[in-house]
């Protein structure tokens, strides 16, 4: 198969001149031994034709790329700057004597062609409707009096009035207005399968990953600003001269900033607490030592703080950008991410090897079954029982 052949085939679909034989050919390429090549060439063709794609009213052509390339209409309409990521995995087997590389490209789930009775137009139909959906926006807000508010379905409106401060939802984001007569605290928690964006009373923005939390005052007073987090959060701190911003992490470490962008990964089941600086300057303090970070550096906190240069910022920020980035991760490390995002419990049978490393990534918009199909083709064995995923040797 040649790239030109795929381009000509898809061009006929775009021009609504595809024959039954063309449609059969696409079906065969999707399901056959050449599926990986087909997806590579289709992705390249899409990137060349993106502007035409966005303006096209050809639903069949759109459906093909929404399923194969993994692009949804919301991103196309609202975020044209968002890069397109093909759904692919690269599996790298690391052994003492040699390194073997196996390449897999995943076509965003199992789909089949169905025939329209009137005009024989072909559309892509999702084959499996009983599937675990990916995470979505939502959180639980705990107010100063201990009452809880589910934020999942509130798009706009006032949530609470606390000591002169109004908590409200504006376009889906939690914001605070007013000056408080006393210091009271709120907490936002994201369960498994949720993420959330909020704006703190000082204007700082916080993005919470799944299974995370942040505790903060409803208004900042005095000579400093302090918050506490668990899990993972990305901060864009509002610059306030003379009002340093402190983040307390799991009662183990703290980060001090004046105005900056940084990410903190502090999940209790990860190997270390990682603070990554994107912009500005932060000081990280642990139980033993402290360190000043420059943009692009990461502080890893265990018993003491180690500084790493030239960190892959794209991988650190993949979760916020709607992506899984599995570069250099083992199956156990990958499964920790899936547990949080899909609200599942993962178990490992004896004999599962942790010396297999991955590279590449996939959109976080895919369902669990679609992602597991990639692992299955890679000869990773598993059994899914409800929300319990068992990884086998």
Q: How many helices (H) and strands (E) does the chain have?
A: 9, 28
pLDDT in tens, 206-257: 999 999 999 999 999 888 999 999 999 999 999 988 899 999 998 889 999 9
Helix (H), strand (E) at residue 340: helix 331-342
Q: Which residue carries 């034989």 as its tokens?
A: 21
Q: Which residues contact 207 (CB under 8 A, 6 or more apart)?
A: 195, 196, 197, 233, 234, 320
In this predicted structure, the answer to whether residue 278 has a pLDDT above a threshold of 90 is: yes
Q: Name the band, by pLDDT with cuts 50, 70 and 90, for residue 319.
A: very high
pTM, to two decimals: 0.69
Q: How does pLDDT run across 7-24, given as a tens digit for each residue? A: 888 888 777 777 777 777
Report the DSSP beta bridge partners of residue 228.
215, 248
Q: Which residues of 103-133 are buried (b: 16+ CB within 10 A; e: fewer)?
A: ebbbbbbebeeeeeeeeeebebeeeeeebbe
DSSP string, 83-99: PP---EEEEEEE-SS-E
Question: In angstroms, rounded to a whole number, what is the distance separating the alpha carbons of residues 27 and 23?
Answer: 6
The answer to whether the Cα torsion of 353, 359, 360, 361 is positive or negative is positive
Q: Which residues of 30-62 are buried (b: 16+ CB within 10 A; e: fewer)?
A: beeeebbbbbbbbbebbeebbeebeeeeeebbb
Rounded Cα–Cα distance for residues 22 and 20 (Å): 5
For the chain, domains (ranges, CATH) are 1-127+322-393 (3.55.50.30), 136-315 (2.60.120.1440)
Q: Mean pLDDT of all residues in the chain?
A: 77
Q: In this predicted structure, what is the pLDDT of residue 70?
A: 52
Q: Which residue has the tokens 């306030």?
A: 240
């Amino acid at each position: 198969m040649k790239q030109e052949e795929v381009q000509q085939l898809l061009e006929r679909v775009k021009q609504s001149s595809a024959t039954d034989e063309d449609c059969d050919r696409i079906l065969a390429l999707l399901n056959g031994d050449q599926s990986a090549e087909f997806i590579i060439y289709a992705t390249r063709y899409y990137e060349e034709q993106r502007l035409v794609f966005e303006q096209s009213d050809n639903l069949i052509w759109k459906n093909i790329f929404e399923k194969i390339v993994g692009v949804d209409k919301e991103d196309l309409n609202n975020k044209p700057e968002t890069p397109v990521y093909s759904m692919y995995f690269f599996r790298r087997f690391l052994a003492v004597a040699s390194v073997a590389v196996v390449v897999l490209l995943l076509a965003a789930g199992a789909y089949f062609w169905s025939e329209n009775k009137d005009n024989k137009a072909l559309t892509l139909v999702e084959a499996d409707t009983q599937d675990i959906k990916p995470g979505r926006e939502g959180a639980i807000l705990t107010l100063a009096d201990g009452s809880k508010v589910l934020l999942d379905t509130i798009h706009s409106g006032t949530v609470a009035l606390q000591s002169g401060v109004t908590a409200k939802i504006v376009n889906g984001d939690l914001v605070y207005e007013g000056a408080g007569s006393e210091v009271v605290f709120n907490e936002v928690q994201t369960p498994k399968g949720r993420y959330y964006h909020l704006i703190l009373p000082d204007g700082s923005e916080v993005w919470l990953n799944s299974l995370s939390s942040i505790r903060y005052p409803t208004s900042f007073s005095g000579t400093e600003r302090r918050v506490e987090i668990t899990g993972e959060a990305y901060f864009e701190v509002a610059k306030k001269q003379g009002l340093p911003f402190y983040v307390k992490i799991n009662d183990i470490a703290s980060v001090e900033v004046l105005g900056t962008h940084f990410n903190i990964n502090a999940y209790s089941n990860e190997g270390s607490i990682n603070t990554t600086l994107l912009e500005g300057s932060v000081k990280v303090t642990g139980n033993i030592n402290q360190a000043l970070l420059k943009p692009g550096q990461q502080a890893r906190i265990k018993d003491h703080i180690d500084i790493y240069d030239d960190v892959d910022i794209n991988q650190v920020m993949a979760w916020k950008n709607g992506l899984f980035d599995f570069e250099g991760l083992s199956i156990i490390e990958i499964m920790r991410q899936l547990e949080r995002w899909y609200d599942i419990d993962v178990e490992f049978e004896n004999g599962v090897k942790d010396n297999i490393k991955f590279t590449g990534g996939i959109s976080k918009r895919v369902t669990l079954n679609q992602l597991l199909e990639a692992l299955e083709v890679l000869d990773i064995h598993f059994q899914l029982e409800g929300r319990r995923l068992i990884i086998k040797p």
